[in-house]
Structure formats: structure tokens, C-alpha cells
Amino acid sequence: MASSVAQRVALSGASGLIGTALAASFKADGHEMVPLVRRKDAPGVFWDPATGEVGPGLEGVDAVVHLAGENIAAGRWTPARKAAIRDSRVRGTAAVAGALAGLKRKPRVLVCASAVGYYGDCDDALDETAGPGGDFLAQVCRAWEEAAEPAARAGIRVVNARLGVVLSPDGGALAKMLTPFKLGLGGPVGDGQQWMSWVALGDVVGALRHCAAERSLKGPVNVTAPGAVTSAKFAATLGRVLRRPAALPLPAFMVRVLFGEMGEALLLAGQRVLPARLKKAGYTFKHPELEGALRHLLGR
């Protein structure tokens, strides 16, 4: 949101990796943050995604960024875990969208997180016109995006930000990789040929703010760097940046034994996704290439 006029921005998931960085960016430019919180005694707007309750306080906000959802990589995907992953996204988004639709003074825009998992496992280069896959994550993403429809029907511009693998040393996939790679125990996963659509945290923040400000953007927007890489190339590049060998693969059968369906979906499957709409709308990536992004993130 590039406006020089101070805006009120409501944010769910404000304490997460992306939310913390996004809130800091907005505040640095003089905007007021209104966090959605789970405790009624905490400052912000109370909400409960399980029940759909959203408290007062959203009236008159200029924009809403909705990031909250269960961590998909926090444990094996038992039936209960899969239900929690789906419900946290679908029910949570429906609650926010419904609350916004009922306001007298509605926000101009709702930027709602989604993921490139929408496309399923695919080697082809895909832009936002591609259809959904058929696996669990694709089904979740489709329902997640559909849950925002009440806001769109109420005249709010809705952006479904399909996030790639967010790179930061402070959390997420990269943070988990650093220790084994620094010990020289890193390498590609499986055969290494699956695609990884990554994006540096700074570009996630920049892209989300661009989505909030740019009126031409609505519907699905891929938030990925333009240079997707294979698992093998990612491992080789990270090893080179850390000056460590990266030749120890994690065999596919071990991924399945250790992580089950979660490992199959998050480590062995992949998507090659292009940020077509972001680029067309004038967003300039700070870190379009992997090696430069890793060197910046890791101070190398």
C-alpha cells in the first residue's frame, strides 16, 4: 500500500513469520495495524475461526490481509490433522469474509492467503489461468479461495495470494534446512527433479502490499519468484552459498517412511509457477534469482 495517507490495515496471522514482517513494513510507512486476535482481552479485533465469531472493530478499516491458518508442516497428516488444516483455512476465511460483507463501511480490499499447492503436482510452467489439482492440498486451496466469495459479492476487491515456498532464515523451510546443510548433510529430496516455486520473505511482503494497493489485481495472484528451480538445483545453490557439500540425497522411500502423506505432498511433489499477474501489474522483484536471494537472506 504505497499511499502517503495513513491507512488502517487489519491483519490476521500477525504473529507469524509473514505477518510479523508485513506488519513491520506497514508500520514503518505510518499505517495503523489492527490485528485479529484469539483472546478477547488482547488488543485488536477478537475472532474465533472455529466458531466464525468476529468481534467489532473492523468497521472503517481500509484493507484486510488474512494470513492465518494451521501450519501444514507441523506433523504427520492424520485425519484429525488434515481436518484442522482445512478447517482453519476455510472456516477462518469464511468468518472474515462474512464479517466484512456485513459492514456498513467496507474495506476496499481483502488480500487472502492461498498457496501454489492449488495446482497440484505438475512440471509444466503454470500461470494463474491454470486449473486446480486433485490432491489434498489442491482441494484445500480451492475451498480456501471459495470461502472468500462473500466479500467479493459484497463489492470488496478480493485477491487470493497463492504463496510459494517462503524463504527466510527465521522460519519455514529454509530455517529447517540450514543445520543439516551447514553440517554438510544436505542434498536434494528424492530424484531432485521436482520443481520448487520459492519466494524471498521480502518479496512476499512487497507483493502483498502491491496486491493491497494495485486496483487492477483481483482473484488469484501467484506470489512466487520468477525463477523456480528443481530440488536438485536448490540444494546445489544453497550448498554453494554456505560453502558446504550438498550431495547427500534424501531418498523418496525415506520421505514416505518419515513423513507419510505430508512428505509426499510437501517434499516429493512440486509446482513450477509463474508470477504472471504480479509482473503485469508492475511489481518488481527484489530477489528474482535464487542465489542472490539466499546470499541476501543469509548474509553471504
Phi/psi for 165 (5° steps) reads: -75, 115
Contacts of 54 (CB under 8 A, 6+ apart): 36, 45, 46, 47, 48, 95, 96, 98, 99
Q: Where are the beta strands (DSSP E) in the chain?
A: 8-12, 32-37, 45-48, 53-54, 63-66, 109-115, 125-126, 157-163, 165-167, 195-196, 198-200, 219-223, 229-230, 272-273
- For cell 544453497, what's the residue? 238
In contact, 174 and 297? CB cutoff 8 Å: yes
Rounded to the nearest 10 degrees, what angle do helices 136-146 and 79-101 cross at?
Answer: 20
Query: What span, in angstroms and rounded, lies between the C-alpha atoms of 232 and 186?
Result: 11
pLDDT at res. 253: 87
Task: Read off the C-alpha cell for 181.
Answer: 546443510
pLDDT at res. 51: 87
To the nearest 10°, report the CA torsion of 199, 204, 157, 143: 50
Residue 170 CB neighbours (<10 A):
11
Partners of 34 in the beta sheet?
A: 10
85: Cα within 13 Å, side-chain hemisphere: 21
Q: How far is CA 135 from CA 4, 42, 70, 279, in A?
A: 43, 38, 18, 28
Query: What span, in angstroms and rounded, lies between the C-alpha atoms of 46 and 86?
Result: 21
pLDDT at res. 124: 92
Mean pLDDT by 10 residues, the chain (300 residues): 76 95 96 93 90 89 95 90 94 95 96 96 94 95 97 97 96 92 93 96 98 97 96 96 92 88 89 96 97 96
Contacts of 150 (CB under 8 A, 6+ apart): 94, 97, 98, 100, 101
Write down the architecture of domain 8-298 according to CATH. Answer: 3-Layer(aba) Sandwich (3.40)
